[in-house]
């Protein structure tokens, strides 16, 4: 369902955040996020006029993860910034993400390591999209999302764990119509709590 019709208005600013996931030839995955800020006019910045059409920000963040969502490499890049020559000092700090796990308190830990003057506020914002981008990338490729469920088969030949996505949002609650209709085996079930498995809910 679309948003309601807005009152007459004028575009003044556009922020875009996109994330892409790549399966690498070495078996690892790259999760790459980009943030851009544009204004549809010339902008007077402290560092000078930024002409219409050029971004205020174009910032990139890439983490390389294994199939357990452990961050094994990380890098950031500040392509367009309001303070050229100064904002570019922040990207090396994002190496601190190495060793974190995208599904174990990642957002909280990233903020602890990189908030405030430790990093760039906008690059740190990008950290927030990485866990769910990785989850979407892994769904169906790395993790089973079909009716039969995940993990190894039990003694009856069925999988002991429900598909990864069930029980993680309102539409896919175990007592909901979607589960009853499309995943009937798991209707009325529940998912055991896994310690540390909370980063996507922070």
- Got the DSSP string for 78-143? EEE-SSTTTGGGSGGGGGGGTT-BTTSSHHHHHHHHHSGGGS-HHHHHHHTTHHHHHHHHHBTTTB
Predicted local confidence at residue 159, as pLDDT: 59
At residue 127, does pLDDT exceed 50?
Answer: yes
Based on the structure, what is the number of domains in the chain?
2
143 half-sphere exposure, CB direction, 13 A CA radius: 17
Q: How many other CB atoms are there within 10 angstroms of residue 197's CB atom? A: 14
Task: Report pLDDT for 158.
Answer: 52
- Residue 198 in any domain: the answer is no
CA distances from 51 to 41, 43, 44, 105 (A): 7, 6, 9, 40
pLDDT above 60 for 150: no
In the prediction, which pLDDT does 144 show? Answer: 72
Cut 0.95: pTM above it: no
pLDDT in tens, 78-103: 999 999 999 999 999 999 999 999 99
Q: Which residues span the domain enclosing 158?
A: 150-192
Which residue has 């999302």 as its token pair? 145
Give bridge partners of residue 80 from the DSSP assignment: 58
Asked if residue 163 lies in contact with residue 186, where contact means CB atoms within 8 angstroms, the answer is: yes
Please name every residue paired with 78 in a beta bridge, in sequence order, or none if there are none: 59
Q: Is residue 186 part of a domain?
A: yes
Distance CA 1, CA 91 (A): 39
pLDDT of 64 above 70: yes
* Residue 3 resides in a domain: no
Question: Where is pLDDT greater, at 124 or 140?
Answer: 124
Residues 134 and 154 in one domain: no
Residue 201 has what pLDDT? Answer: 46
Pair 154, 71 in one domain: no
The whole-chain average pLDDT of the chain stands at: 90
Highest mean pLDDT among 60-69, 168-177, 187-196: 60-69
In-domain check, residue 183: yes
Determine the Cα–Cα distance for residues 59 and 32; give it in Å rounded to an integer: 11
């Amino acid at each position: 369902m679309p948003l309601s019709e807005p009152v007459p208005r004028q575009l003044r600013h556009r922020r875009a955040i996109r994330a892409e996931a790549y399966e690498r030839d070495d078996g690892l995955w790259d999760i790459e996020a980009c943030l851009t800020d544009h204004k549809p006019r010339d902008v007077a910045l402290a560092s000078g006029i930024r002409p219409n059409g050029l971004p205020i920000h174009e910032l990139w963040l890439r983490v390389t993860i294994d199939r357990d969502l452990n961050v094994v490499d990380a890098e950031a890049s500040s392509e367009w910034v309001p303070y050229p020559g100064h904002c570019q000092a922040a990207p090396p700090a994002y190496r601190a993400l190495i060793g974190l796990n995208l599904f174990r308190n990642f957002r909280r830990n990233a903020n602890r390591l990189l908030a405030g003057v430790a990093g760039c506020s906008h690059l740190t914002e990008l950290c927030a999209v990485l866990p769910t981008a990785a989850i979407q990338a892994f769904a169906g490729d790395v993790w089973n999302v079909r009716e039969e469920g995940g993990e190894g088969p039990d003694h009856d030949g069925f999988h002991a764990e429900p598909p990864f996505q069930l029980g993680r949002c309102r539409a896919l609650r175990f007592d909901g119509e979607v589960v009853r209709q499309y995943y009937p085996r798991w209707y009325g079930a529940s998912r055991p709590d896994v310690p540390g498995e909370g980063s996507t809910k922070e």
